[in-house]
Amino acid sequence: FLAMHYTSDTTTAFSSVTHICRDVNYGWIIRYMHANGASMFFICLYMHVGRGLYYGSYTFL
C-alpha cells in the first residue's frame, strides 16, 4: 500500500514521506504505528536480554 507512494531516491525520499503523512488516507497513523511498534520491539528485546542476564539464565547452557 505505502510502496505505491514512497520513493527511495535520496533527493525525494523525505518529500515522499511528507506526502504519505499529509495526503495518503491514514498514512500518518501507519507511519507512527510502525515507528512505535519497532521501538516497542527493541524495548521488549532489551528487557528480555536484561532479565536473562539478571537471573543468570545463560549459565544453564
The per-residue pLDDT for 40 is 99
pLDDT digits (tens), the chain, 61 positions: 788 999 999 999 999 999 999 999 999 999 999 999 999 999 999 999 999 999 988 787 6
Residue 7: φ, ψ to 5°? -120, 135
> pTM for the whole thing?
0.72
d(CA 5, CA 20): 7
Domain holding 39, by residue range, is: 2-60
Instruction: Look at residue 34 and give its three-state secondary structure.
Output: helix
Q: How many domains are contained in the chain?
A: 1
